[in-house]
Structure 1
Amino acid sequence: MKELELIFKNIKTKEFLPIYFFHGEEAYYIDAAVKALENDVLTEDEKAFNQTVTYGKDTNYNEILALAKQYPMMGDKQLIIVKEAQDLKLNEDETSLLEKYVESPIESTILVFAHKHKKVDSRKKVFKALDKRKMLFHSEPVKDYNLAKWIDDEARNLQIKLAPGISQLLADYLGNDLSRIANELNKMKLVLKDGEVLDGKLVETHIGISKEFNVFELQKALGKKDANTAFKIAYYMGKNPKTNPIVMTIGNLYNFFSNVVLYHTVANQSPPTIASELGINPYFVKDYAETARLYPLKLATRIISVLREIDLKSKGLGAVNMDEGELLKEMVFKILNIDKVKM
């Protein structure tokens, strides 16, 4: 997020905006920006008098703007941070008050809104005004196909050397939860010795992800109908349910085979169009083509039913004394033999 980099740079040089309205689905960038403002705008002595942190559920725009119109005590600036701003209600009167404040903010006040997990309605006049004055910042999620690159960049910033394939492994296993990824990388920063490379063994030891035995390797094996590898991975994962929870395994396979079903409906389109429809990197279209060849539409659809059945069993419905390892092996067997399974 280039805007965030510019915000960090301006904070360090004490070039502040009167209002920062952060919003969007990705909380990581919002938290990082708010933390930078919270840490660097005021000195520790100034914070006691001139820093206010409140939460959306505990306040309203009237109260916030009343605070913003006050002047700092024994200092040049006051900082007001509204966390969880998505819990604020914005009625017609408050919209009018906020619009007026945006038009003429108090220069000695730095007013920060952290509106997380969803976008604001940018069609509203007040948010158009914020955007026009470059005080509205949208925090977008990183696309799945860009996640490995984001991890590479984050590791580089932390001066962590990654072995080949590690960024993709972390992306596949941790998903686009940037806060979790950042926490894991920061943890590894403390663990790694000078010059040590973060490889698969260290990832397995300290993060709990096996480079060979994880849900994405299982997905690949099932996609290729590689029975020996699939059962070997399922056995390992079943022995380590804490790091390989079955609910996550089922969820990932459900998404994968749902995309295989979707592939069948768009297979006659161009690879870029298929990639767009499936929401994947074009590089992986050929993998879906191979899986679709091995699992025709009728069988791919039946696999979805098997996954729902295993999901219910994992929750105690229709399964008596079956642990996660047994359920994983049953699931793998049924997927590989889906043409013979009675539904």
Structure 2
Amino acid sequence: MKEIDIILKNIKNKELLPVYFFHGEEAFYIDLAVKHLEQDVLEEDEKAFNQTVVYGRDTSYPEILSLARQYPMMGDRQLIIVKEAQDMKLNEDESKALEAYLENPVPSTILVIAHKHKKLDSRKKVSKMLAKAGMLFTSEKIKDYQLPAWIQGEITRLGIKSAPNISHLLAEYLGNDLSRITNELNKLKIVLKNDAVLDGKVIEDNVGISKDFNIFELQRALGSKDMSKAFSIAYYMGKNKKANPVQMAFGVLYNFFSNIVLYHTLSGQSPQNIAAEMRVAPYAIKDYAEAARFYPLKHATRVISILREMDLKSKGLGVRQMEDEEIYKELVYKIIKVDELKVKV
């Protein structure tokens, strides 16, 4: 069970700690835990007197700790939540004040500190004290290769039936903003009725991603050297550059062809080992196996050079700056015709 699941379960069961210090680059899990603490620690009629929410830019650790040492009014406990705590100073004096409180926290106070977008310095004594007491919780940024699996987990948790590869499509277009992904999935759950399946058409209608003309389908067309389909998709994407920024396409295709290169170097190993080394789902290996037939190692390496060249062109370096539509068409032509072109590697 993930750490966040344990935290949420304990909050629901009223198994509470005197201090929660959330930190890390991924704000989503921090916000989720704070939301549950706000909702579940106190009863509604207690919140007016015993629940205090402040923001880091408006307060300091000494002020917060002074509040924490007070006793609740007309209740058994008080809840103090510090949001955006990364905006508070934590120099030597503040650290010592927090260390002193951690040595003897007030049992009737639940102190919640949400320190987002960066980690607390692990070398600090206060960090070590929090960790030793089990009060320090790290929210790590999800890796790009983990994102489709995370999205699929959310789809399953919400009880949504989905077509194959939908999680990959959403990952490509929504990026790793977990809050945005969660919001979109919740909206889609409302749209889907009578056990309807989440497929490309539903996404196209409600999220603005074309089920036929997207980077996922362009990658597939390039991987099988389907020139007609690849040009059709590239034309559409170039005409709709706001929804299909060319820089995103470069990133996706760079990863794809880098994995083809890696697939060639792993030739002869089991599909399970190849998937593990490439950090992709096992079912995706067949797509790389097919693409590797069309792009031998030498050609896959050349494609990476083409992507770098086109990236420079898109930024106007060395040549006039090209429009996205031109970039997409030239990119598709050069990739599919890579075996006929002379490309510097």
**TM-score normalised by length of structure 2:** 0.83
Secondary structure of 1:71's aligned partner: coil
Quote the residue 2:186 is aligned against: 186
Query: Structure 2 matches for 1:28-47, cutoff 5 A?
Result: 28-47=28-47
Cα deviation, 1:20-52, whole Å, max 9, x if unaligned, reads 112233221111111111223234554344333
Sort the Cα spacing of 1:189 and 1:268 in 2 relative to 1 into closer, same or farther, 3 A: closer
Instruction: Determine helix, strand or coil for the equivalent of 1:102.
Output: helix
Matched-pair contact (CA < 8 Å) for 1:275–1:282 = yes
Taking only the aligned residue pairs, the percentage that are identical comes to 67
Q: Which residue of 2 aligns with 1:153?
A: 153
1:211 aligns with 2:211: yes
Residue 96 (structure 1) aligns with: 96
Task: Measure the CA separation in 2 of the matches of 1:106 and 1:67.
Answer: 10
Cα distance in 2 between the residues matched to 1:272 and 1:59: 53
The aligned residue for residue 68 of structure 2 is: 68
Q: Distance in 2 between matches of 1:88 and 1:231?
A: 52
Q: Which residue of 2 aligns with 1:174?
A: 174
Residues 1:197 and 2:192 aligned together: no
Asked if 2 retains the 8 angstrom alpha-carbon contact of 1:144 and 1:280, the reply is no
Deviation readout 1:197-219 (Å, 9 max, x if unpaired)? 22221111111223332112212
Partner residue in 1 for 2:303: 303
Quickly say closer, same or farther: Cα 1:210–1:119, change in 2 above 3 A: same
Equivalent-residue separation in structure 2 for 1:145 and 1:124 (angstroms): 32
- Determine whether 1:223 maps to 2:223: yes
Structure-2 residue corresponding to 1:234:
234
CA distance 1:199–1:265, shift in 2 (3 Å):
closer
Give the 3-state SS of the residue equivalent to 1:150 in structure 2: helix
Matched AA of 1:220 = R
Paired amino acid for 1:200: G
Deviates more, 1:284-293 or 1:181-190: 284-293
SS of residue matched to 1:180: helix
What CA distance in whole angstroms lies between the structure 2 residues aligned with 1:159 and 1:281? 22
Residue number in structure 2 paired with 1:84 = 84
The amino acid across from 1:247 in the alignment is Q
Please give the root-mean-square deviation of Cα atoms over the aligned residues, in Å: 3.1
Give me the whole-angstrom Cα distance separating, in 2, the residues matched to 1:287 and 1:296: 14
Distance of aligned partners of 1:54 and 1:262 in 2 relative to their CA distance in 1, 3 Å threshold: farther
- Residues 265 and 95 of structure 1: CA distance in aligned 2, closer, same or farther (over 3 Å): farther
Q: Distance in 1 between matches of 2:156 and 2:259?
A: 33
Are 2:306 and 2:343, in contact at CA under 8 Å, matched by a contact in 1? Answer: no
What letter is aligned with 2:206? H
- Tell me the amino acid that sits aligned with residue 162 of structure 1: S
Matches within 5 A, 1:284-299: 284=284, 287-288=287-288, 291=291, 294-295=294-295, 299=299
Between the aligned partners of 1:186 and 1:235, the Cα distance in structure 2 is 32
For 1:114 and 1:342, the matched residues in 2 are separated by 51
> Do the aligned residues in 1 keep the contact of 2:184 with 2:207 (CA within 8 Å)?
yes
Check the 8 A contact 2:20/2:112 in 1, yes or no: yes
Deviation at 1:190, TM superposition (A): 2.5
Q: Is the 8 A contact 1:224 1:290 kept in 2?
A: yes
User: Using a 3 Å threshold, how does the CA distance of structure 1 residues 338 and 195 change in structure 2: closer, same or farther?
Assistant: closer
Alpha-carbon spacing, 1:305–1:86, altered in 2? closer, same or farther (3 Å): farther
Distance in 2 (CA, whole Å) between partners of 1:210 and 1:96 is 55
Structure-2 separation of matches of 1:276 and 1:120: 32
The CA deviation at 1:95 is 2.5
Letter in 2 for 1:199: D
Worse-superposed segment, 19-28 or 125-134? 125-134
Residue 329 of structure 1, CA deviation: 0.8
Change (3 A) 1:284 1:227: same
- How far 1:183 sits from its partner (Å)? 0.8
Alignment of 1:315-334 (within 5 A): 315=315, 318-319=319-320, 322-334=322-334
In 2, Cα distance between equivalents of 1:68 and 1:240: 53
State the 1:185 CA deviation.
0.6
Asked if the contact 1:173–1:216 (Cα under 8 Å) also holds between the matched residues in 2, the reply is: no
Distance 1:101 1:157, change over 3 A: same
The one-letter code of the counterpart of 2:174 is: L
> In structure 2, what residue type is equivalent to 1:32?
L
Shift in alpha-carbon separation, 1:221–1:126, aligned structure 2, 3 A: same
Structure 2 equivalent of residue 10 of structure 1: 10
Give 2:249's aligned amino acid: T
**2:113 corresponding residue in structure 1:** 113
Aligned letter for 1:196?
A: A
Change in Cα spacing, 1:92 to 1:293, as seen in structure 2 (3 Å) is: farther
User: Could you say which residue in structure 2 is the equivalent of 1:254?
Assistant: 254
Moved more, 244-253 or 181-190: 244-253
Q: Secondary structure at the match of 2:176?
A: coil
Contact 1:55 1:82 survives alignment (8 Å): yes
User: What is residue 24 of structure 2 aligned with on the other side?
Assistant: 24
